[in-house]
Amino acid sequence: MFVDSHCHLDKLKSTEEHGIAKVLADARAAQIEHMLCIGVALDDFAQMQKIVGKHGDVSFSCGVHPLYVAKHGFSESELASLCARSDVVAVGETGLDYFYDKEHIATQRESFARHIEIANEVNKPLIIHTRDARADTIDMLREGHAEKCRGVMHCFTESLDMAEKALDLGFYISISGIVTFASAEELRDVVKHVPLERLLIETDSPWLAPVPHRGKENQPAFVTHVAECVAKLKGVSIEEVAEVTRDNFYSLFNIKRN
Ligand SMILES: [Zn+2]
Ligand SMILES: [Zn+2]
């Protein structure tokens, strides 16, 4: 049984066309036992929960994505109160993305700092989106004492050096379908070096479908291909990757297994 530590169930075309029941049924048929559905903006948080509904095998996070913050903005008190809810297990996704948006760096940083504060206040882990902002991301996590709440570097595509700095802060590294892409040699090297006990796996669906599904819409059921690739790189069985990443997930997000 697998866990998809990062997906956007409300953003799938499949959800729109066939309803959430089909996505969840396909995931369960592929032995996905838990999914973490990630919030990207406060103004669509309620809608996300409504579309996805209440299920024992789906948890939610709440936060404002670095690429959404300039457009959507947010109220700090609203973020804090949503993150304190018992059905929210993590704060994010938040972080810094200088690859897609260099214009709003100050806004991204301000938002990221608030998310770190709130994660420590509510004592829930952070879900970090980081791209081309290695030094700033690590510096801000250190300044904000994110080693207290800890968290995960989601859809990791940065260097081994950055991964090691994140591990030092008690963070986990989450691997997406990118690891199966031919061009992802550096990421495969990161996977070889990071202990399995500190790895998570994710789809980031609807984006980034792994080989052999590239070009299709990604969905939680496809996380098995990420596990398979990680297993090969680690020289262990896919069952071991499934079991250890699942235990890592439940422990970081403080979720009781059904
Ligand atoms: Zn992201
Ligand atoms: Zn995401």
Match 């936060």 to its residue by tokens. Answer: 63
DSSP annotation of 38 reads P
Q: How far is the CA of 168 from the centre of ligand 2 (A)?
A: 23
- This prediction's pTM: 0.96
Q: What is the CA radius of gyration of the chain?
A: 17
Read off the tokens for 184.
């992802």
Give the per-residue pLDDT at 16.
Answer: 86
Over residues 60-81, the pLDDT tens digits come to: 999 999 999 999 889 999 999 9
Give the ligand with the smallest distance to the CA of 39.
2
Q: How far is the CA of 193 from the centre of ligand 1 (A)?
A: 22
Over residues 83-132, the pLDDT tens digits come to: 999 999 999 999 999 999 999 999 999 999 999 999 999 999 999 999 99
Give the per-residue pLDDT at 14.
Answer: 87
Q: How far is the CA of 84 from the centre of ligand 1 (A)?
A: 22
Q: How far is the CA of 69 from the centre of ligand 1 (A)?
A: 13
Who contacts 186 (Cβ-Cβ below 8 Å, separation ≥6)?
159, 160
Give the per-residue pLDDT at 15.
Answer: 87
Over residues 162-198, the pLDDT tens digits come to: 999 999 999 999 999 999 999 999 999 999 999 999 9
Cα dist. 237→22, 95, 216, 223 in Å? 29, 33, 27, 15
Question: What's the mean pLDDT when you consider all of the chain?
Answer: 96
Q: Do 24 and 55 form a contact (C-beta atoms < 8 A)?
A: yes
Rounded to an integer, what distance in angstroms lies between the CA atom of residue 122 and that of residue 129? Answer: 20
Q: How far is the CA of 94 from the centre of ligand 1 (A)?
A: 8
Q: How far is the CA of 93 from the centre of ligand 1 (A)?
A: 6
Q: Which CATH architecture has domain 2-215+223-253?
A: Alpha-Beta Barrel (3.20)
Rounded to an integer, what distance in angstroms lies between the CA atom of residue 84 and that of residue 124? Answer: 9
Give the per-residue pLDDT at 19.
Answer: 87
Please state the separation of Cα 168 from the chain's center in Å.
19
Give the ligand with the smallest distance to the CA of 97.
1
Rounded to an integer, what distance in angstroms lies between the CA atom of residue 144 and that of residue 140? Answer: 6
In the predicted model, is pLDDT for residue 258 greater than 80?
no
For the chain, give every domain's residue range.
2-215+223-253
